Structure formats: structure tokens, C-alpha cells
A and B are shown apart, each in its own frame.
Chain A
Amino acid sequence: MIKISDLQKVYRTEEVETIALNKLTFDVKEGEFVAVMGPSGCGKSTLLNILGLLDDPDGGSFLFNGTEVAHFNERKRADLRKRNIGFVFQSFNLIDELTVFENVELPLIYLGVKGPERKQRVETVLDKMQIMHRRNHYPQQLSGGQQQRVAVARAVVNNPKLILADEPTGNLDSSNGNEVMQLLTDLNEQGTTIIMVTHSEHDSRYSHRIIRMLDGQTVTENILV
């Protein structure tokens, strides 16, 4: 599904040049659950940006479902993103001004899904995440675990092929964390590919494969399954 080779990303400020990704090469097959680990500053976030089509690399190749996307323009990237990729973040990143229902509905709106179908699909996914009773609440009125479930619901509502999770349990206690990991595992079992950046060895054990990064390069790959 994803094949990157010699991927490069360099950040420049006036005085310093930071190499975030240094000829990174790996691939992820459809249906895989991959964890990316490594110390702070090793390039995990940059990688996630590029995989999520939020940023473009300075060099190398990025094949997404066999298409070269490394030099897509912003419009094309946004289009590909909204059809194929869901995001889950450490800090949930829900829009405070919107209710649970409206937050989950948002990707469908950008996809151009019609109202009645939107309602039905949002309700289905809220039901699955067991937060249907909270549909009219605002994010601030929910616990961390509930917020992350809303975030997961939002990530999956448009049935993406790929979910990118950035430390999804980082702000949660262990029981809520396990619940979210279980949700991701379930999704993966239903066929969704998942790439998860994490600091937690515990969480990484839910994955099939761990990619360890250092200074913008992969150092090891552990196959768990």
C-alpha cells in the first residue's frame, strides 16, 4: 500500500539546517498494523506528515497505492487525504465549537456526502464507539477517553484505507488507553491499515511490526507477528 524510498526532508532556518528524514526507505502492506518508535526528534512526526499527505518531501519517492504522490500539489493531496486517510492524535484535536456529532460529521461534509446519509453514517460509527449518548455534547464536556473515542470515530467515519495515529494513548490513563488500542486493533482486523507513532512499548505490542527510527533513518524493524 505504501512504498517509500530514499525519502528526504530538510528543515532550514537562517542559520541551522536540520535533516529530519535522511534517505528513509520502507514499505507497509495493506492490512498491516505498524508501530513507529524512536526518541524525540528522530523524524517520526515529519514522517507522519508526509505519510498523511500534509507535507511534501524534498526528495525520494512515495508510492501510495501504486501512485507517486511525492510531488502532488495541495489540492490533489487534500483530495487523496480526505478519501483515504484518517488521523488520530495524542491531544484528540476535536473542534471545541462543534458537538460530538458535528465533529464526526466533518470529514463527510468535506467529502460531499449528502445530509441524510451523513446522519446515518455518523450515528453508526458513534454507536460502534459507544458514545451515541454523548452526541450533542461539546468536547470540553467529555472525559479524555471519551474524547479520544470521538476522535477515532471521526477518523474512521469515511472508511479510510489508512489510519495514522500519533501517540493515541499519550494523554490517557491506562484503562482508557487500552480501550483505544483495542478499538484500533478491531479496525485493523476489519482490514484497515494502521501506522502508529508511539513512545509506549506497551502500545507497540498491539502492532504487527515495529519500525525504530533514529536521526531520520530506520535502524531496525521488528516483526512481532
Chain B
Amino acid sequence: MIRNYFKIAFRNLWRHRVFSFINILGLSVGMSACLLIYLYVSFELSYDRYHAKGDRIFRVVTNIKTPTDTLDWNSASIPMSPAMKKDFPEVEQFVRIEPNSLLVSRGETKFQEDKLAFADSSLFSVFTLPLVKGDPDKALAAPWQVVLTETSAKKYFGTAEPVGQTLYLTGSRLPATVTGVMKDFPDNSHFKYDILVSMTTWTQKINPGLDDQWEGFNGFAYVLLHDAKDAPGLKAKLPAFIDRHIGKDLQKAQMTFTLDLEPMKDIYLRSKRGAPESGSLPNITIFSLIAVFILLIASINFINLATARSAERAKEVGIRKVVGADRKQLTGQFLGESVLLCMISFLMAVGLCALLLPLFNQLSGKTISHGIFDHASTIGILLLIAITIGLFAGIYPALVLSGFRPIAVLKGSFSSGKKGILLRKGLVVSQFVISIALITGTLVVYSQLTFMRNQDLGFSKQQQLVINFDGDSTIWQHYEAFKQQLTSLPNALSATASSAIPGQGNPTAYSQLENHLGVMQPTNMELFSIDYDFIKQYGIQIVAGRPFSTGFPSDSTRAILVNEEAVSTLGYHSPQEIIGKKFSQWGRQGTIIGVVKNFHFRGLQNAIKPMDFRIRPRDFSFVTVKISGRDVQKTIAAAGDLWRRTLPNRPFAYYFADEEFNKLYRSEDQFGQLFLNFAILAIFISCLGLLGLASYSTLQRTKEIGIRKVLGSSVGGIVNLLSKDFLKLVWIAFLIASPLAYIGMHKWLQDFAYRIDMDWWIFAMAGMIAMLIALFTVSFHAVRSALANPTKSLRTE
């Protein structure tokens, strides 16, 4: 019996190739989209789950409250976690990780290591990060010890034995011994480094005294508890802990520190404080929904086409009933057919996925999977899902078909499932609701991206060639001379040095500024150290006072410029009022000499915060050369030559300020691209279904079309007749989709401090796009049947 079902199923699929093709194509594309999203989502959810002790690991984070604001930081200062271990028996162990960027060399092999970190040796026992060579207890215990990942070991030593060899940190000055080689960090780790240097190197050798600095926040601290259940109790003891250690200092500075413990497994997706790598729970939710929607659309196609075609199958049903089939057997047969179809689609989907995976990895910006066949259990689950879809999508058609009255069908007095029409229309509407909502979403995402790229940032980022010298003392000690040489390069207009470039992070300096009441108010200021030419070269406007000038010797030590945001934070009504007021910041005292117009020194996701500029060559890390834009390559080559002559030890690292700034939007870009692709898929599958349905309904109305043509209807009239019904459905879908899309995208936009308004035209455009695509799809058949010779269609009746 089963064999007979399969035989019929296969022959049916073959006989109705077009319908089968539409179904299989739609389902397999839908399933592969789902499969990819599934891999993506499960990868995102798998972050940091590989640590055997993961449940007991917590990140120590700090909230810093000043009279003006609260900073929710993801870091803890160096002494905090060791003190916690000492004070609390609940704490089994701590690990501190201090990210840094150093020039590392071995003879002539030199690399600027941006992914370097100082770390405690407990890293290997707290986290599940196995060493391939070396002793985990001792590898990072003493100063000047280095552990390499397998990849970086190969980079420096090739096939030679790395353990026991010497590497030089910061160029050639600081020798360190390789004491171990570890496996590369897993892809799904919220922190990844290429080189680890012992923490004692940092706290005792490079920055002696750091062990007692409770107020410096740069790195991360993790604690391993004996029992995860102790966490709430421990948290409750932390305020007293802070008070005991630095209560007095904080009181004097009018600050409070509040420590918190974040569970390891929540850091990547749920922490609002961020991490070296962090994911987005809303995005995962959005993509999961999209996956379900796409599958839904494909399944709807299946149901629609199957019921629409029921009239064709009716005869077979009648015959089978007459020769003895009962309803159960028929239901089984049709379910079998739909499962078969789903299985074929599933196989194609797996193949398609295998092909698309590298592309998807690229699109999502990470290696979510090295090959889908690595995930046998995943594929097993998906196979089950495919069968379930087959059963679900098949159950309605199966029930409809098996319920036919055989004699009516066999005698030809059967009218093709009038009752199914409303359901089919409902399903088409829901498909288009999803499609239109996705199109709207895509338009909103891209409008926001365009807005962010084109928004006036308040500084000039064009033609700014940025050279990163990583604070090398050779440069900042002689930077005036170096600047001179840079400005004399071909096509170079000017040059300036600074601690950071707009778009990158700055240190937050805890400062005291005189407010409108004449009181020294503690304020967190983002701090840029710059030279005299920075303001001018970056086109930052002065709204009050004056920029730094070499004519005022005190400018280099006793003056700052603040932004408008700082002015209003301090309670002044106009920028003029703050000129001449006092400040005290990181060991410097003096007066505010000018106010700059607010500019975006961070991406448009973030609101502009109070900041200030000061002159301090020691902090310089970047030189920016403004170039004319003519023959850029020549300028770069000349700068490279100059670099190699000045700093032969250091690789020449450069980029353009505008490109770098746009990188701040990379994750939004990726989100947009993924969104766009899936929206296209959704509308494609919807249209496949529409195409099938339209061709079917056109087929059914062949006689009507014939009669209308005989009576004098024009081709246009017929196309209109056939398209009208479908367009009405799209219109209804538009009315439902628009508010849904508005709500969803409104929520998405909340993540951006500076965002677009969702104008009516975005919705109108989404509706128009859907309408046009639907019209095009439907009229494909409508035109063909409208042009057909009417006598032909009438004779066949």
C-alpha cells in the first residue's frame, strides 16, 4: 500500500511539474533560510557555554555614581577581585584580564598585537581554555611570561618549538619567555586573544603600584564561586566591602562604587555593559521570528496550492473511495505525499545550506559553523521538523480531499472547493502581511544606516589619513619634527597628533569643574589629548572662547576646551558663561578657555556626552595627515617611506578616518544585509505561491475569460479582472502589516540615540513594492490567458 502511495506521489509530482517545482523550491528555500538562521541563533546562544565551571563564573562589574551621572562599566579595578578572594570564603578563585595592544617581535618578525592581554594564570583553571604545552599553574605566574595561542605560535615560530623561546614586548626592549601554548580561543567566546602575558608583568613591572589602585578601570575581572547559589548573598556584602577598602577616598571625591556580579553565560547576550564581543538578544529574536515566518510562508504556499488543486485530485479520491479506500487511508496517502515533498525539499535545503554557509558566515561576520554536516543532531532535528511541516501542511488538504463525496466528483458535478477560497485568501493575506512587514523593516533599517552615514558629525572626516603609532615614545618625544616631515609629503596639507580619533573610545576622566553656582562639581568627562592643530584640521567649530594657541604658554598645562554638552551639564545657559571657569582633572588645574560645538565622537547609536580637550603629547597615539585627495597612493607610499626611516621597528599602520568611523556601523550593516536578504526570500516565496495560485485560478476561469472575450472584453479588461482579486488581498495585507512594522521598527530604533522618523513614505513604498511585485506575478498568467483564443477555451468545456 505504501509503495502504491509513493508511486502515485512521485507520478503526481512529475505530472504537475510546475506546481511541484513551486512547492519544492519554496519549501527548500524556506527551509534552508531556516536552517541557516537556526545555525546562527544556536551559535549566538552557545557563547561562553563551553566552560565546564561556567555556572559558577561571574564577571565583576562596577557602577560609578557621581553627582552628575552614573556610569555602568563592565570592568573592575585591579585590586578588587584579589581582595574579594581574600575577604570572602565564597570566592574560590579570580581571574583578571587586561586587554592591551603591543608591538611584539622575535628577531625580524614583528607584529602589532591588538589582541594581547595581561592575565592571571588562574585563567587556565577557571575557564576551560586548555594548554597544549606548558604547566597551567605556572605558565602565567611570574613576570615576563607569555602564552601563545596555537595560531600565533605558528606565526612567530613556524614549526619550531616555542616554549622556552624569547619574545620582545613593545618592540625590542622587554624580553619575555614563552611558557606555554594554548588552543585558540573558541569562536563562541566573548573574549578572544592571540597572546597572553602574565598579569604580574603589568601590575609589578610595567605599572608598579597598580595593585593598590582601586580607582583605575580598564580590564575585566572574573570570580569563580564555590557555589553559584552564593552569588546573591555575596552581592549583598559588596557595598560594605567597598566601604571597608576605599570608602573614605570615595566620599572625598563624592563618588560611589557599586559592584555587581554578572553570570558568565549572560555576558554575551544580556549584559547592557557590553563586552569585547557582544551579541544582541533582540536581533536573535528578530531572526528567529523571520525564520518562523519564512517557513510559515512556504508552508502556506503548500497548503494553498494543494487545496487549490483539489479539484484535480478529486477524481482520484472518488475512484479510490469507490474501490474501497476509507477516509483514513486517503488521509494517510495525502499526508504521505506532502511528507515526501517536504523530504525532497529538505534534502535540497541541506544541499543549498552547505553551498550558502560560507556566504552566510561572511554576511553575518562570523564563523557560525564550519560545515553544516558537523551538526548531525541539528540535521536530525531539522529532519523531524521537515516531517512535521509535511504533516502540518498536508493535514488540511488531506482532510479536504478525503472528505469528497465520490459520486458527485465522478459524475463531474463537483465544483472546486468553494469553501476553501476564504481560507486561501486568508493565507495569502498573512503571507503578504509578513512580506510587507519585512520590506518595511528593511527600508527602515537602510534609512537609518543612510542617515547615520550622511549625518553631519560636526567634524570633518574626509581625506584624513590616520597613522597609528601606538604611543611610541620616539614619535611623541619628537612629534613636532615628525609633523613637519609629514606636512612636507606630496599632497599633504597639514598634520596633527592626538590620543584618539573621533569614533574611538577615550578614557573617561573623573574631573571637577566649576558649575554655574561656582561650586566644583564632580563630572565624568571623555578626554581627548590633542595638539594645537587638531581643532582646525578636524574642522571642529568653536562656539565660545578660543582654541589652543602656542601664543599662550599656559595652554599646554592649565587649559581645556569643553563641548556644549558639558556646558549644559554644569548648568550654564550659554557657552560664554563657562569661559574662565576653573577645572581640576587628573592632576591638572586651570581654566576653561573655550567651548566647541557638539560633535559626534562616538557612533550615532550613542548620545553626545560631556568631553574636553587638553594638550598632552605624552598621550599621543595617532597622527592624522590631511591630504588634498590628489594621488592618494603616492602620499601613502611617501608616508610609508618616512615611517620606515623614522621607526624601522614598527609596522606602518594607517587608515582613513571616514572608513574607520563607518566601521562603527558594521553590526548594523550586517543586520541590515541579513534583514534585506531574508526579506527578499520572504517576498520571493510569497510570490511563488501567488504565481501558483494565480495560474490555478486563471485556469479555472478559462471559460469565463472565453465568454467575456466573445462578448467583447479587451485584454486589459481581462488582466484587470484577474489581477483585481489578488491586489485586493495585498492591500488588506498592507493595512495589517503597516502598524505591526511600525511597532517593531519603532522598538528597533530606540537603540539609536540619533534616529530617523519613520515617515509615511516608507510604509507607502513598502506597500507599493509588494503591490508591484504581486501585480507583475499575477499578470504574468493573466496576460497569457487574456491573449488566448477564446474559441479554444470554450470548446474544451
Given contacts A93-B315, A97-B15, contact A54 B411 (CB under 8 A): no
Chain A residue contacts of B325, Cβ below 8 A: 78, 82, 110
Q: CB < 8 Å: which of A78, A79, A94, A98 contacts B8? A: A98
Q: CB < 8 Å: which of B1, B7, B321 contacts A78? A: B321
For A66-95 the 0/1 string (1 means CB < 8 A from B) is: 000000001100110111000101010111
- Could you say which of A83, A91, A105, A110 has the most chain B C-beta atoms within 10 Å of its C-beta? A110
Q: Roughly how many angstroms separate A49 CA and B321 CA in the complex, as a whole number?
A: 12
A52 at interface, CB cutoff 8 A: yes
In this complex, what residue of B is CB-closest to A105? B4
- A110 and B318 form a contact (CB under 8 A): no
For B310-344 the 0/1 string (1 means CB < 8 A from A) is: 00000110111111111111000000000000000
A34 to chain B, nearest CB (A): 18
A224 at interface, CB cutoff 8 A: no
A203 at interface, CB cutoff 8 A: no
Chain B residue contacts of A30, Cβ below 8 A: none
A143 at interface, CB cutoff 8 A: no
Q: Roughly how many angstroms separate A125 CA and B405 CA in the complex, as a whole number?
A: 29
- Could you say which of B1, B15, B326, B406 has the most chain A C-beta atoms within 10 Å of its C-beta? B326
B579 at interface, CB cutoff 8 A: no
B46 at interface, CB cutoff 8 A: no
- A74 and B327 form a contact (CB under 8 A): yes
A44 to chain B, nearest CB (A): 11
- Could you say which of A82, A111, A166 has the most chain B C-beta atoms within 10 Å of its C-beta? A82
Chain B interfacial residues counted at CB < 8 A: 27
For A42-63 the 0/1 string (1 means CB < 8 A from B) is: 0001001100101100000000
Binding site of B, secondary structure by majority: helix, strand, loop or mixed? helix
Q: Interface size for chain A: under 10, 10 to 19, 20 to 34, or 35 or more residues?
A: 20 to 34
For B407-426 the 0/1 string (1 means CB < 8 A from A) is: 10011100000000000000
Given contacts A48-B407, A109-B1, contact A97 B323 (CB under 8 A): no
In this complex, what residue of A is CB-closest to B412? A91
- B407 and A97 form a contact (CB under 8 A): no
B484 at interface, CB cutoff 8 A: no
B477 at interface, CB cutoff 8 A: no
B11 at interface, CB cutoff 8 A: yes
A216 at interface, CB cutoff 8 A: no
In this complex, what residue of B is CB-closest to A74? B327
Chain B residue contacts of A166, Cβ below 8 A: 411
Q: Roughly how many angstroms separate A55 CA and B329 CA in the complex, as a whole number?
A: 18
A165 to chain B, nearest CB (A): 12
Chain B residue contacts of A94, Cβ below 8 A: 319
Q: Roughly how many angstroms separate A102 CA and B316 CA in the complex, as a whole number?
A: 13
- A102 and B324 form a contact (CB under 8 A): no
Q: Roughly how many angstroms separate A167 CA and B171 CA in the complex, as a whole number?
A: 101
In this complex, what residue of A is CB-closest to B328? A75
B512 to chain A, nearest CB (A): 86
- B407 and A93 form a contact (CB under 8 A): no
- Could you say which of A52, A106, A154 has the most chain B C-beta atoms within 10 Å of its C-beta? A106
Chain A residue contacts of B4, Cβ below 8 A: 102, 105-106, 109
Q: CB < 8 Å: which of A48, A82, A93, A109 contacts B319? A: A93
Given contacts A48-B407, A102-B7, contact A82 B323 (CB under 8 A): yes
- A93 and B322 form a contact (CB under 8 A): yes
- B410 and A97 form a contact (CB under 8 A): no
In residues 728-777 of chain B, which contact A (Cβ within 8 Å)?
A: none
Q: Roughly how many angstroms separate A107 CA and B11 CA in the complex, as a whole number?
A: 19
Q: Roughly how many angstroms separate A96 CA and B319 CA in the complex, as a whole number?
A: 11
Q: Roughly how many angstroms separate A110 CA and B474 CA in the complex, as a whole number?
A: 92
Chain B residue contacts of A81, Cβ below 8 A: 322, 324
In residues 1-40 of chain B, which contact A (Cβ within 8 Å)?
A: 1, 4, 7-8, 11-12, 15
Q: CB < 8 Å: which of A45, A91, A98, A107 contacts B324? A: A107
- B321 and A54 form a contact (CB under 8 A): yes
For B165-183 the 0/1 string (1 means CB < 8 A from A) is: 0000000000000000000
B126 to chain A, nearest CB (A): 66
Chain B residue contacts of A98, Cβ below 8 A: 7-8, 11
In this complex, what residue of B is CB-closest to A104? B323
Chain A residue contacts of B410, Cβ below 8 A: 89, 91, 93
Chain B residue contacts of A79, Cβ below 8 A: 326
Chain B residue contacts of A49, Cβ below 8 A: 405, 407
For B136-178 the 0/1 string (1 means CB < 8 A from A) is: 0000000000000000000000000000000000000000000
Chain B residue contacts of A87, Cβ below 8 A: 322-323
Binding site of A, secondary structure by majority: helix, strand, loop or mixed? helix
Given contacts A55-B407, A79-B326, A109-B4, contact A95 B319 (CB under 8 A): yes
Chain A residue contacts of B322, Cβ below 8 A: 52, 54, 81, 87, 93
- A97 and B8 form a contact (CB under 8 A): yes
Q: Roughly how many angstroms separate A97 CA and B315 CA in the complex, as a whole number?
A: 12
- A110 and B8 form a contact (CB under 8 A): no
Chain B residue contacts of A74, Cβ below 8 A: 326-327
A214 to chain B, nearest CB (A): 20
- B406 and A54 form a contact (CB under 8 A): yes
Q: Roughly how many angstroms separate A110 CA and B320 CA in the complex, as a whole number?
A: 9
Given contacts A55-B405, A97-B15, A97-B316, contact A106 B411 (CB under 8 A): no
In this complex, what residue of A is CB-closest to B8? A97
B190 to chain A, nearest CB (A): 57
- A154 and B326 form a contact (CB under 8 A): no
Chain B residue contacts of A89, Cβ below 8 A: 410
Chain A residue contacts of B319, Cβ below 8 A: 93-95, 106
Chain B residue contacts of A97, Cβ below 8 A: 8, 11-12, 15, 316
Q: Roughly how many angstroms separate A45 CA and B325 CA in the complex, as a whole number?
A: 20
Chain B residue contacts of A75, Cβ below 8 A: 326-328
Q: CB < 8 Å: which of A93, A106, A109, A111 contacts B318? A: A93
Chain B residue contacts of A107, Cβ below 8 A: 323-324
In this complex, what residue of B is CB-closest to A81? B324
- B329 and A95 form a contact (CB under 8 A): no
Chain A residue contacts of B329, Cβ below 8 A: 110
In residues 139-181 of chain A, which contact B (Cβ within 8 Å)?
A: 154, 158, 166
Q: Roughly how many angstroms separate A45 CA and B315 CA in the complex, as a whole number?
A: 17
Chain B residue contacts of A54, Cβ below 8 A: 321-322, 405-407
Q: Roughly how many angstroms separate A158 CA and B11 CA in the complex, as a whole number?
A: 25
- B324 and A110 form a contact (CB under 8 A): yes
Given contacts A45-B411, A91-B412, contact A110 B323 (CB under 8 A): yes
Chain A residue contacts of B318, Cβ below 8 A: 93
Q: Roughly how many angstroms separate A78 CA and B320 CA in the complex, as a whole number?
A: 11
In this complex, what residue of A is CB-closest to B409? A93
In this complex, what residue of B is CB-closest to A84? B324
Chain B residue contacts of A52, Cβ below 8 A: 322, 407
- Could you say which of B12, B322, B405 has the most chain A C-beta atoms within 10 Å of its C-beta? B322
- B315 and A82 form a contact (CB under 8 A): no
B578 to chain A, nearest CB (A): 83
Chain A residue contacts of B324, Cβ below 8 A: 78, 81-83, 107, 110-111, 158
In this complex, what residue of B is CB-closest to A157? B323
Chain B residue contacts of A82, Cβ below 8 A: 323-325
Chain B residue contacts of A106, Cβ below 8 A: 4, 319-320, 323
Chain A residue contacts of B316, Cβ below 8 A: 95-97
The list of the 3 closest CB pairs from A to B, nearest first, reads: A82-B324, A78-B326, A110-B324
Residues of chain B at the chain A interface (Cβ within 8 Å): 1, 4, 7-8, 11-12, 15, 315-316, 318-329, 405-407, 410-412
18 pairs from A and B in contact (CB 8 Å cutoff):
A74-B326, A78-B324, A82-B324, A82-B325, A87-B322, A91-B410, A93-B315, A95-B315, A95-B319, A97-B11, A102-B4, A105-B4, A106-B4, A106-B319, A106-B323, A109-B1, A110-B324, A154-B323
- 15 more A-B contacts (CB under 8 A) besides A75-B326, A95-B8, A95-B316? A45-B407, A49-B407, A52-B322, A52-B407, A54-B321, A78-B321, A81-B324, A82-B324, A87-B322, A91-B412, A97-B12, A102-B7, A109-B1, A110-B320, A110-B323
Residues of chain A at the chain B interface (Cβ within 8 Å): 45, 48-49, 52, 54-55, 74-75, 78-79, 81-83, 87, 89, 91, 93-98, 102, 105-107, 109-111, 154, 158, 166
